Amino acid sequence: MELLLKDCLAMKHDLAWVEAFRKQTDKESLSVDEALEYIAKDFCDPLIMEKRLMVLNDDDISFFEMAMKKDIIPAPANYGSADKICNMDYAFAFGEQMILHVPEDVRKAYEAINTKAFHERRKKISWLKDCVDLSTVIYGVIRVSDLCRLYRKRKGFEEKDEQILLNMLPDLMRNHDCNVVIKERYMMDIGIADSPFEEKIKYIQKRNPISFPSYSEMKDMIENGYPSKSNAYQKLKSFFYHNMHYQEDYLVALLSALWKPIAKGYTYSELKAYLKELNINLEDTSEPLFRMICKEVWEDTRTLLCNGNKPKIAMPNSTYIFFSDSGNAA
């Protein structure tokens, strides 16, 4: 028997999740069963589904459509797409093998929105989301006009009318958990807005002209979660593989987890503390090599400290900043 979305929601989520929904939507009079029915109906509403799926890129959608045809076990290359769709509660993983299932009513609802117009807008919104997410890592604070320049780096996305992009931003922010705000023609990480770091970063950026990565570099960071083509990051990956004996799948996640704090301004001591939080403890004999590699990584990382540029280009001979204990921008 085909599972419906209501059934899958009941198996995945606990009572606390349902209770939180009832409070947030003033539906406290509904029973658990009624609340699940309401949520499932809401998620399958064509207008709601269209807005929620707008952030999926072509690979995500292709995988989603493949999963709708039959239950599948995602290949490693599809883990990212599977996570996105499962987090949206449009697919569910069951059993020890984590077989992915798309509920029958979700499949039928998707048929109603699977149009050329939907996919044309989805391609733009999902690419804009990628640009927004990347900008929070390497800039922290960015002028909306510069975000538009970043968006146009991709061939086929060169809309000359900036207002087109400005009109898409509110849609993205309303229908996706974007941790950004727009303030006085700047877009910034919500954790930076109205904090002491906001003015500090803006001051730093006045001294450093903004630097834009190429599309191929953007694609690498977005798809792999870190600049995987960088020789310095390849050295770091090799270090963890040979010295710590971590496997490939874990290494990709680990490098991604380290790239973001480095780009945002972690010092070497803060990076080591972060590794301890991840239960990664360096041996004393291997730390000198790790320190040397981290120096190269920091120099070759586009960082908000340099307004999206690399320290080795914008601030040569400045690794003392990375090895200081005072921390830098954010």
Please give the structure tokens belonging to residue 110. 């998707």
CA–CA separation, 56 vs 52, rounded Å? 9
- Cα 186 to Cα 131, 163, 286: the distances in Å are 14, 15, 43
- pLDDT for res 308: 96
Q: Are 84 and 145 in contact (CB under 8 A)?
A: no
Tokens 């109205």, residue located: 194
Q: The dihedral of CA 81, 87, 90, 95: what is its sign? A: positive
What is the rounded CA–CA span in Å between residue 50 and residue 54?
A: 6
Rg of the Cα atoms in the chain: 22
Q: How many CB atoms lie within 10 A of CB 248?
A: 9
Residue 319: CA atoms inside 13 Å, Cβ hemisphere, count? 14
234: Cβ contacts below 8 Å, ≥ 6 apart: 228
**3-class DSSP state of 191:** coil
Q: pTM for this structure?
A: 0.89
Of 96, 137, 110, nearest to 303 by C-alpha is 137
Q: Determine the pLDDT at residue 73.
A: 94
Alpha helices in 139-214 (DSSP H): 144-151, 162-175, 196-207
Per-residue confidence (pLDDT) for residue 170, from 0 to 100: 78
Spell out the per-residue pLDDT of the chain, length 330, in tens: 578 999 999 999 999 999 998 888 888 889 999 999 999 999 999 999 999 999 999 999 999 999 999 999 999 889 889 999 999 999 999 988 889 999 999 999 999 999 999 999 999 999 999 999 999 999 999 999 999 999 999 999 987 767 777 778 877 877 666 788 888 889 998 889 889 889 999 998 888 999 999 999 999 999 999 999 999 999 999 999 999 989 888 898 999 999 999 999 999 999 999 999 999 988 888 999 999 999 999 999 999 999 999 999 999 989 999 998 755 555
Please state, in angstroms and as integers, the Cα–Cα distance from residue 62 to each residue in 57, 85, 127, following that order.
Answer: 9, 12, 16
Beta bridge partners of 203: none
Nearest to 94 by CA among 8, 189, 198, 156: 8
Can you spell out the DSSP letters for 278-327?
TT----TTTHHHHHHHHHHHHHTS-BGGGTTB-HHHHSTT-TTTTT-SS-
